[in-house]
Amino acid sequence: MSGKQLTLEACGKTYPDGTRALTPVDLTVAAGEIVVLLGPSGCGKTTLLRMVAGLDRPDPGGRVMLDGRDVTTLPIEKRGVGMVFQSYALFPHMSVAGNIGYGLRVQGWPKAKRKARVDEMLATARLEEFAGRRVDQLSGGQRQRVALARALAPGSGMILLDEPLTALDAGLREGLRAEIAAMIHAQGATALYVTHDQAEALTLGDRLVVMDKGRIAQVGTPREVYYAPQSDYVAGFFGHVNRLSGTVENGVFTTAAGTLALPGRPNGETTLAFRPEAAVVGAANGLTFTVKAALFEGPRQRVDLAGPEGEHLVAFAPGIRPYAPGDQVTVSVDPDGLLATGASAI
Ligand code: ATP
């Protein structure tokens, strides 16, 4: 199966009660790509997904195209897209194989071809040993693999996933992220995946669409949106951003807490922006900060630091060496971790 290219042109949505859920958005998802729609509750992720599914229509002027074909007015059953929801929507009384083969039966696949395809999907989802088991006798993670296998089985080339892991516990979610991405890629399908979980989005998306109040705030690879955010909103959405003001002269950054070598930076006043993992606590040279608090999380600790003029930094340090409030520490900043940003405010 080969994935379909999805193109959204000026897709906006105003609900009959006047709610403007989406201002017109343009988006292209390449064949075989997993694109994650991400943003806080109410930002329009589900609305966008429903328009691609054919459950909702965009406002007049908007177009949904699959492989260059305008499908805007096609109902869901004629659109040929697979769907996976948070609630598995499986048939509980049916076997795993029965569920996976359901769509193929509806589409009238001949028996031998259907069986071969179900076997292939059972293998892809690592569910061979559960083929005959009823789905209500499976764990949550296994059920979600069945749901994905069922959605991929007809080979429609386009699959939509709406918070598929949200109902599962944290440990299981982490394990399934990579597995879901691998299953989708193995089938060559194109996927649009909705989540509000940043780690999930960064882990399994080839590209992320970060949304804010019905608009697209930024589209980019996980590294781009995380380390090159184009706005304060996108930067802050993925976690804390440290800011440190000072002056650069001949490759040396000077601030109240000391100096840092920053070769290649232009001379003048500047504000460095960097994430907590770019602040290196206990460096040989750097700035002098005082530990205010250290929160041990096992592999890492969050260290809150105060500078001589009330500057506040958050650092993620390895958990190995304990820090206590009042400790004086030397902090350097990994120059590769400075946020490359398009926003003057950052
Ligand atoms: P969540 O993460 O909570 O699911 P979301 O990002 O998926 O949120 P949407 O469900 O797309 O957000 O909703 C976007 C906006 O449109 C919200 O303000 C919501 O209240 C509104 N909305 C959604 N469906 C309707 C509807 N049928 N009628 C009126 N307003 C709606």
Q: Tell me the mean pLDDT in the region 29-45.
A: 95
Mutate to test the pocket of ligand 1, among 37, 47, 56, 59 (most ligand atoms within 8 A of CB): 47
CA dihedral 267, 270, 273, 274 (to 10 degrees): 40
The three-state DSSP-derived secondary structure of the chain is CCCCCEEEEEEEEECCCCCEEEEEEEEEECCCCEEEEECCCCCCHHHHHHHHHCCCCCCCCCEEEECCEECCCCCHHHHCCEEEECCCCCCCCCEHHHHHHHHHHHCCCCHHHHHHHHHHHHHHCCCHHHCCCEHHHCCHHHHHHHHHHHHHCCCCCEEEEECCCCCCCHHHHHHHHHHHHHHHHHHCCEEEEEECCHHHHHHHCCEEEEEECCEEEEEECHHHHHHCCCCHHHHHHCCCCEEEEEEEECCEEEECCEEEECCCCCCEEEEEEECHHHEEECCCCCEEEEEEEEEECCCEEEEEEECCCCCEEEEEEECCCCCCCCCEEEEEECHHHECCCCCCCC
CA of 21 to the centre of ligand 1 (A): 6
Q: Which atom of ligand 1 is nearest to the CA of 17?
A: 29
> What is the model's pLDDT at position 169?
79
pLDDT exceeds 80 at position 344? no
CA of 126 to the centre of ligand 1 (A): 35
Distance, CA of 317 to CA of 294 (rounded, Å): 9
CA of 14 to the centre of ligand 1 (A): 10
Q: CA angle at residue 289 from 284 to 290, to 5 degrees?
A: 120
Going by alpha carbons, the residue nearest to atom 22 of ligand 1 is 21
> What is the model's pLDDT at position 341?
63
pLDDT exceeds 90 at position 168? no
CA of 38 to the centre of ligand 1 (A): 14
> What is the model's pLDDT at position 1?
64
Candidates 73, 50, 23; CA nearest to 161 is: 50
Going by alpha carbons, the residue nearest to atom 7 of ligand 1 is 46
Using pLDDT thresholds of 50, 70 and 90, give the confidence band for residue 345.
Answer: very low
Q: Which atom of ligand 1 is nearest to the CA of 43?
A: 6
pLDDT exceeds 60 at position 346? no
Q: What are phi and psi of 8, to 5 degrees?
A: -110, 130
> What is the model's pLDDT at position 343?
47
Structure confidence by residue, pLDDT tens digits, 286-313:
999 999 999 999 999 999 999 999 999 9
Mutate to test the pocket of ligand 1, among 11, 14, 15, 237 (most ligand atoms within 8 A of CB): 15
Ligand 1-lining residues (CB < 6 angstroms): 15, 17, 19, 21, 39, 41-47, 196
Residue 216 forms beta bridges with which residues?
211
Going by alpha carbons, the residue nearest to atom 28 of ligand 1 is 15
> What is the model's pLDDT at position 2?
83
Q: What are phi and psi of 111, to 5 degrees?
A: -55, -45
Catalogue the long-range contacts made by 107-112 (C-beta closer than 8 Å, 24 or more residues apart).
107/154
Structure confidence by residue, pLDDT tens digits, 222-277:
999 999 999 999 999 999 999 999 999 999 999 999 999 998 889 999 999 999 99
Q: Tell me the mean pLDDT in the region 118-131.
A: 90
Mutate to test the pocket of ligand 1, among 46, 51, 161, 209 (most ligand atoms within 8 A of CB): 46
Query: Across the chain, what does the average pLDDT equal?
Result: 92
